[in-house]
Amino acid sequence: EVQLVESGGGLVRPGGSLRLSCEASGFPFSTYWMHWVRQAPGKGLVWVSRINTDGSITSYADSVKGRFTISRDNAKNTLYLQMNSLRAEDTAVYYCARVYWNFDFWGRGTLVTVSS
């Protein structure tokens, strides 16, 4: 059974940092591009970042470029999102998703709240 389990969310002050993790199981993790998508409370889905199979290619939405870093450890079947200089507008549920030209499987998400 395919599983994606996010963790690492929580309450953080503006300007702070958090590291999200997404542990994958039930499929060959190292063969999939992986993405992060976020959803602010009551709002729509917004693409955040992606990483290729070996971690050598990454892309970011303009809103997080320079502040967020995506990475992966294929030996641990885990995807990461390092989030620095957090802002109130980064408050959202962060989903990791497996992608092969479509987002065919999503984790349950982890809530990040940026507030003083």
Partner 1 sequence: QSALTQPRSVSGSPGQSVTISCTGTSSDVGGYNYVSWYQQHPGKVPKLMIYDVTKRPTGVPDRFSGSKSGNTASLTISGLQAEDEADYYCCSYAGSPWVFGGGTKLTVL
Interface segment toward partner 1; rule CB under 8 A; list 20-28, 67-75, 84-92, 107-115: 107-115
Residues paired with 101 in a beta bridge: none
How far is it, in rounded angstroms, from Cα 67 to Cα 114?
14
How far is it, in rounded angstroms, from Cα 34 to Cα 79?
7
Dihedral sign for Cα atoms in the order 68, 48, 15, 5: negative
> Looking at 21, 30, 53, 59, which residue binds partner 1 (CB under 8 A)?
59
Interface segment toward partner 1; rule CB under 8 A; list 15-23, 54-62, 73-81, 82-90: 54-62
Alpha carbon 6 to its chain's center: 8
Nearer to partner 1 by C-beta: 44 or 75?
A: 44
The nearest distance, CB 116 to partner 1, in angstroms, is 27
Interface segment toward partner 1; rule CB under 8 A; list 14-22, 44-52, 71-79, 81-89: 44-52
Nearer to partner 1 by C-beta: 80 or 95?
A: 95
CB 97 within 8 A of CB 105: yes
Footprint on this chain of partner 1 (rule: CB under 8 A): 35, 37, 44-47, 50, 59-62, 95, 101-109
